[in-house]
Structure 1
Amino acid sequence: MDRRQFLRVTGGTVLAGVAGTTRVAAAHPGPFEPLGRVDIEGAKEVVVSPDGQTAFVAATSGYATVDVSSPDRPRVLAERRNLLSDHEDGPFRNVYDAKLDGETLLVVGPANPLPGTPAGVLVVDVSDPASPTEVTFHETEYPIHNCFAADGRAYLTANDGDQNPLVVLDTETGTELGRWSLVSVDEQWAEVHSSLRAVHDVFVRDGVAYISMWDGGTWIVDFTDPQAPSVLASIGPGDPDELAALSGGERRTTGRTAPGNHHSAATDDSGDLLGIGIESWAVEVERDDETTELVGGPSGVELWDISDLSNPTHLSTIDPPASPDPTVGGVWTTAHNFDFHDGRLYTSWYRGGVKRHDISDPADPVELAWWRDPGRTNFWSAQYAYPFADEGVFVASSWGFDDVSGALYTFPDHSGDQLNPPTLGPETTTESLVNTPTQTDSTARTAETPSTDGVSRSDVPGFGIGTGAAALGAAGWWYRRRAQRE
């Protein structure tokens, strides 16, 4: 079916005057700071039980359950490592995501193509969080970067290096119920390099999936009947003809910089407000006159009114903290995972910290709190937990880096200012680099810069960067190897 039959919403439709966050609320008495912290090596995504008392953390080599009922004293209830060690390709590695459906936890991986490790969905009974029971493992032929769990279904990002579908499984049996991909919408997407149209993340509410497709944009797809998914709308899809025509250097630059880079999405409780997190960096490009310049920079969280899916409307953008070095090898302050609750938005910005916003008027979000400690924290996710005393609690997982352990933090759900907040680096500004349009003309090519922080670029989140061409090329090798073995 021709893509022009579907809604396309691009930056050109944004109403004049829409801007990033500039207002900050009055401070709460006393400094804003964490209530508690507990080390969890390799901490990545965190999800919270319906009662808010327990957090479940994907932890790279396994998962952990954490009691947060006493927010000043969070404690690990159970920690499971070396999962599937008896599997012929075990153990299970590269576990970046876990999602909860009632008392069932889905633990998925590997996040990126990783030969020599099992791929699939580990189903865990967490009715007793202190004694989780691994029920079954549904093996897949594709890595799983992210997932969602709802109504007995597992929604999986299935980046196979070809169609890159969203796949839906029955959680109990592992039976595939349905799938959807951009290529099924328009075959021209098959001509676009798979790293630019990776299915990066998914959020589901009432049978409707909000699918983050990197430079393919955000797609809203009805999976009420998973065998016949139907597109309801799309926001910010790139032009497949233009993306398919990019050279290798242009593609690398496009994959790391805005516009595009739709990383994650979620709605508020009403389902009428959609947040879209954009994950991007600055890239050094070399021009024909042998000069170089930085283009791009960190991106933020866009807020969209989707009450009328025939006309989604961009309301505002919450800008990222400025970085002293916004390149992939520098100080990351771009948007990562976030959560809505009762007119509030909880956001994570890697070394840029965590923030809390009042979005009761989503056209004019107000920053209520910002806490950062770039020397010790690298926040992956922020999630509301539960009401506590006269306020509430939210939790945030920190990835860790260098010799600093990953951890889970608890925070008070109130406004406030951090006491003596640290800077994010040298006193240099990068305001002009925020959301700079991508340069993709023939005069620009990527000047590859080696990592300066010791992090392997094949093991970072976001398919638009180091996990692009190289990783999906590894995926092809992996699948051929598996086919030969079988």
Structure 2
Amino acid sequence: MDRRQFLRVTGGALFAGSVGASHRAAAHPGPFEPLGRVDIEGAKEAVCSADGQTAFVAATTGYVTVDISTPDRPTVLAERRNRLSDHDDGPLRGIFDVKLDGDTLLVVGPANPIPGAVSGVLVVDVSDPSDPTEQAFYETDFPIHNCFAADGRAYLTANDGDRNPLVVLDVETGAELGRWSLVSEDSQWAEVGSSVRAIHDVWVHDDVVFIAHWDAGTWMVDVSDPTNPTTLGSISPGDPAELAGLSGRERRRVGRTPPGNHHYVATDDSGDLLGIGIESWALEVERDDGETSDETTTPSTELVGGPGGVELWDVSDPTAPVQRSTIDPPASPDPTLGGVWTTAHNFDFHDSRLYTSWYRGGVKRHDVSDPSDPVELAWWRDPDQTNFWTAQYAYPFADEGVFVASSWGFDDVPGALYTFPDHAGEQLNPPALAPETKTDSLVNTPTETSQSSNGSAPETATSATNAPGFGVGVGAAALGAAGLWYRHRARRED
């Protein structure tokens, strides 16, 4: 199958008959529903402490700590807004991500280029989550959409509009330890538009970094020596020669439609199972409908693409990853960028369970003990009130457990942090996502695949659209602006 070939399927019935499409398990007695919630303005990513008693939430203009030890009554412990307001270019804005390493919280931003705004990493001691202490700020000359914290290091996405590297910092000193760039791996990538090969997110397990590189796929890099990162392998890396030849309009389409759109990555506890979130939508494009009059062709439009799911890959050998299955997204009544988002966003593994968020499509919980046959255990949604950014396991509670999910709000609906029971179940009278499906979706149909150590990729299964993972209305425009912003900063510093 050609890499850009699509198959039409009935709305949302994605990957029917494909490798390991998930199915439902028997329900837990009683309705499945949230245990509690607390409003948080501008809520984005959320992470939990090792003991599961506290959640830390990126809140766009700051960060918030939340006590979730009594899950039916989550309570804000501390709220810090407008940090670095005394900086010449402050405050720190566009905070979409926080990450935790022991008692150290990294707060990063801005997620997207903001002309004239300060950017960097705020290091916070949260050993007392009710009284977080800001210890250092390391200024960068690039925006930071996402990061990872592990073993005293900060791993930063550095979309500078040029090389788009991963940058590794020493958290204690702020010194740069090393960087890895796709352009250094293969100079052909320098000819590819920056937005198409944006580095969107990063995950670290032991000494392996997993990098979600949008239409450049996912890359696995050995950072046992952070001064000399070494590439181990890649998943669905795309063809740089093909991508370099795209026009601006074609880049927009490729960035929003399958295959590609590697948005988020995370491994299970062993590091052998990798999840890849495919964030995508549908895009209206012109077509030739075949009707002619006076030797002229009447143009019309069609929708291509659709919401993306979560791919599960065996990466026990990173030089030869094997796709095991794809968890399909909920069907959307309007899968366009301006419609009802039900595409994959962020997720978490814990003890053979996968917790996923799907924007207005809700949150789900799967059994992935057999990654070739994931089983849906629970699904809860309220599309009029929730717009879920992430789902994260928290801690065992009573006979079950708790997971949390942050909702980033929309229109006049506030952002919030929700707590959920960690068991299977059925939602009572679940609301429809909308009255009817607006259109069919066009997706690729996956087959079980593996990849060679040279990075070449057999055809894989995704459903996708452009880069609103970088913010509504930002996407490629923001990434293109990153280069201008970077050069402006460099000239000012000179």
Q: Is the 8 A contact 1:20 1:319 kept in 2?
A: no
Q: SS at the partner of 1:135? A: strand
Q: Is the 8 A contact 2:36 2:72 kept in 1?
A: yes
Alignment of 1:291-440 (within 5 A): 291-428=300-437, 430=439, 432-435=441-444
Alignment of 1:438-457 (within 5 A): none
Does the alignment pair 1:474 with 2:443?
Answer: no
Note the C-alpha offset of 1:312. Answer: 1.2
Note the C-alpha offset of 1:404. Answer: 0.7
Does the alignment pair 1:206 with 2:214?
Answer: no
Q: Is the 8 A contact 1:99 1:147 kept in 2?
A: yes
Q: SS at the partner of 1:27? A: coil
Letter in 2 for 1:352: G
Does the alignment pair 1:461 with 2:469?
Answer: yes
Q: Is the 8 A contact 1:286 1:293 kept in 2?
A: yes
Aligned length: 454
Letter in 2 for 1:354: V
Q: Structure 1's 63 and 41: CA in aligned 2 closer, same or farther, altered over 3 A?
A: same
Alignment of 1:9-24 (within 5 A): 18-19=18-19, 21-24=21-24
Hey, what does 1:283 align to over in structure 2?
A: 283
Letter in 1 for 2:485: W
Note the C-alpha offset of 1:116. Answer: 2.7
CA distance in 2, matches of 1:435, 1:467: 26
Q: SS at the partner of 1:394? A: strand
Q: Structure 1's 377 and 434: CA in aligned 2 closer, same or farther, altered over 3 A?
A: farther
Note the C-alpha offset of 1:473. Answer: 3.3
Point out the more displaced range, 320-329 or 288-297.
288-297
Q: Is the 8 A contact 2:279 2:469 kept in 1?
A: no
Hey, what does 1:186 align to over in structure 2?
A: 186
Hey, what does 1:226 align to over in structure 2?
A: 226
Point out the more displaced range, 427-436 or 77-86.
427-436
Q: SS at the partner of 2:250? A: helix
Alignment of 1:124-139 (within 5 A): 124-139=124-139
CA distance in 2, matches of 1:432, 1:159: 31
CA distance in 1, matches of 2:302, 2:248: 18
Hey, what does 1:271 align to over in structure 2?
A: 271
Q: SS at the partner of 1:351? A: coil
Letter in 2 for 1:281: W
Alignment of 1:151-170 (within 5 A): 151-170=151-170
Letter in 1 for 2:469: P
Hey, what does 1:33 align to over in structure 2?
A: 33
CA distance in 2, matches of 1:212, 1:58: 20
Letter in 1 for 2:158: A
CA distance in 1, matches of 2:440, 2:253: 19
CA distance in 2, matches of 1:185, 1:479: 22
Q: Deviation string for 1:271-326 (max 9, x for gaps)? A: 11111100011000013541100000001000011122232111100000000000
Q: Deviation string for 1:449-471 (max 9, x for gaps)? A: xxxxxxxx99x5248x8434421
Q: Deviation string for 1:142-174 (max 9, x for gaps)? A: 000000000000000000000000000001111
Q: SS at the partner of 1:475? A: helix
Runs of 4+ in 1 over 6 A off after TM superposition: none
Hey, what does 2:241 align to over in structure 1?
A: 241
Q: SS at the partner of 1:290? A: strand
CA distance in 2, matches of 1:374, 1:380: 13
Point out the more displaced range, 426-435 or 38-47.
426-435
Give the % identical residues. 77
Q: Deviation string for 1:21-51 (max 9, x for gaps)? A: 3421111110000000000000000000000
Q: Is the 8 A contact 1:38 1:408 kept in 2?
A: yes
Higher normalized contact order (CA 8 Å, seq sep 6+, divided by chain length): 2
Hey, what does 2:454 align to over in structure 1?
A: none
Q: Deviation string for 1:203-223 (max 9, x for gaps)? A: 001121000000000001001
CA distance in 1, matches of 2:321, 2:481: 37
Letter in 1 for 2:389: W
Hey, what does 1:6 align to over in structure 2?
A: none
Hey, what does 1:92 align to over in structure 2?
A: 92
Unaligned runs of 5+ in 1: 1-9, 438-456
Q: Is the 8 A contact 2:391 2:404 kept in 1?
A: yes
Letter in 1 for 2:490: A
Q: Is the 8 A contact 1:34 1:409 kept in 2?
A: yes
Unaligned runs of 5+ in 2: 6-15, 289-297, 447-465
Q: Structure 1's 20 and 294: CA in aligned 2 closer, same or farther, altered over 3 A?
A: farther
Note the C-alpha offset of 1:20. Answer: 5.5
Q: What is the TM-score with the length of structure 2 in the denominator?
A: 0.89
Does the alignment pair 1:485 with 2:460?
Answer: no
Q: SS at the partner of 1:410? A: strand
Q: What is the TM-score with the length of structure 1 in the denominator?
A: 0.90
Note the C-alpha offset of 1:126. Answer: 0.3
CA distance in 1, matches of 2:4, 2:336: 24
